[in-house]
Every structure is written in structure tokens, then in C-alpha cells.
Amino acid sequence: MRNPKRDVPLVIIDTRNKGLKSMQDDRLRSTENPNEAEMTFGDLVPLFFMVIQKMWMTLQGPLKELNDRIIQFLKANVFRKNLPWFKLGILSMVAFIMLKKDFQLNFALASPLSVFTDDRAAEKESNLSQSLSVANPYAPLAADDLQDRRAKKFIRANAELARSEMNKFGIPASIKMAQALIESRAGTSRLAENNNNFFGMKCFSKNCKKGHCSNATDDHHKDFFRIYEKPTDSWRAHSRLISNGRYAHLKSHNKDYKKWAIGLKKAGYATDKRYHQKLINTIEKYQLYRLDQ
């Protein structure tokens, strides 16, 4: 095309196709050379290890010097041959025993009652009733709620009585002792202290004389429990109760304390659904079956 005024050739260059062609060439190059893509984390790993190696080479000397100093200090001040190592070991053992509150040593001797021995030099126990979380003070205790020293003291004090009742009425001493423990809270319950009643014996008489029973809240607010003149009267009344009537058939179990415990529960001795398990757990915890020997 020519300019009519000056008759000078006019050239028009279309750059649109050239720009599009340039973009297509860039895309083609990026597809053909994938190695020219952006740097990834994998590309930085060799660099990271090289930095770590340089740091280790720099710190290796100071660390070795520090290690040598520590070893020299230990040799000079700790691992000395003239230290009384035996005495230090004994002192460490004594300190461990004193700080370990639950540490106990039990020696089972030939005597059946030796298992009930306790440390008489131990600290005076707090009142059992203050340490229990049982809402009903008349409910039978679980074996885990009994304080060991109080329970063992109670067992030693009444072992011969339990055996005597066993020989006379055929009731395993282990069963009687377990019932006395959980019913009287090892002799600390209100019934045991005020009524000499160690087995939760209730009164079903309609015309009680004065001093025959006392009211207490157990399963019902009008429950009455027997009062005994002395503790042995309570043990004897319990023997007479479970050796006759609905409990008489339990004698066929001889000295099988597990069958006795289940039988007492089934016969309705207590309303506690776990009563038989409490008896069994208590017998096994304190090895009361040794009283039956």
C-alpha cells in the first residue's frame, strides 16, 4: 500500500501472531525439558545434609574435649576406690524402705495364724470409720475397704473363738471370721461398739424388753438390731442362726467356703447383691481358710 501524499511505502507488521507463537514456544520448551521446573524439597535434601556435616565437623572438637573433662571429673570425684560403697548401698536401701510407704515384708511361718502378724511398731492408725467412703454405716464392707492392720488385729483376737464355734456347730471358721470382719468393720462399727453385735443380727421380736435391741437405719428406717451383753454372745447367736432353719443345708458343704458364701447369699442372709463375693474376697485376701485347718 502506498501513501497517496508522499508516495512512501507503508508497512504494517502484525505482532499478535508473533506473541502467540512465543508463548507456544515457551510451553513447548517447558514440556520438553522437565528438569527446568521449580526446585522441590527433594532438591534441598543434599544441601541440608551438607550443612549438618559442616556443623558436626565444627563441633566435634569441643564435644570431645567436654566428654574428656566429664570422664576425668567422674574418675576423680565419684568412682573413687576409697569410698565406702557397702555403707552407701545400705543407706540407700534404708532410705528407699523409709520413703516407700507401701513397702511390707510378710513371712508365712508354720503356724496358721502367722499370716495375721503385723508390724507393732507402725504408726497408730486413724479411726476406721473416718477413712471409709461407705454411706451406710451398717452395710457390709468390701475386702478392699478393710484396713489391714486393724483387720489382722481383729483376726488374731478372735481366731480361737471362730475355731471353737466351728468345732461345735460345723460352720467353717473362715466364714464366721469373714462375716464378722465385713459386718462389724473389723470391730469398729456402731453395732459392734454399742451393741456387741458383730454379725448384723437383727431383732424380729414384736415385744422386746428394754436393752434387747436398738433401732438403726439399714434397709428400712424401722430396722432393729440385737444388743448383746458381751461379744461372745453375738458369736454364739450367729452360730445358732446359720446352723439351723433355712441355713442348715449349708453344712453339707463342709469347709468349702465358696459354696458357703454363695449359699448364705442365696438363703437371704444379706440384701447386698455382692455379699458372697465380699466374703470370698475377704477370706482369700487374709487367707482365712487357714483357720479351717
**Domain assignment of residue 24, yes or no:** no
Structural domain harbouring 190? 114-199+231-292
Give the whole-angstrom CA distance, residue 16 versus residue 36: 27
Q: How far apart are the first and last CA of the chain?
A: 133
Q: In CATH, what number is assigned to the domain containing residue 252?
A: 1.10.530.10
Q: Is residue 20 part of a domain?
A: no
Would 59 be classed as within a structural domain?
no
Q: Would you say residue 259 lies in a domain?
A: yes
Burial of 107 (0-12, 13-18, 19+ CB in 10 A): exposed
Residue 282 contacts residue 178 (beta carbons within 8 Å): yes
Q: Is the pLDDT of residue 5 over 70?
A: no
Q: Is residue 252 part of a domain?
A: yes
Residue 256 lies in a domain: yes
In a domain, 28, yes or no: no
* DSSP 3-state of 189: coil
CA distance 242 to 250: 8
What is the pLDDT, as a whole number, of residue 66?
Answer: 84
Does residue 283 form part of some domain? yes
3-state secondary structure of 215: strand
Mean pLDDT of 68-81: 71
pLDDT at position 145: 59
Number of folded domains in the chain? 1
pTM over 0.85: no
Structure confidence by residue, pLDDT tens digits, 127-150: 443 443 344 555 565 655 577 888
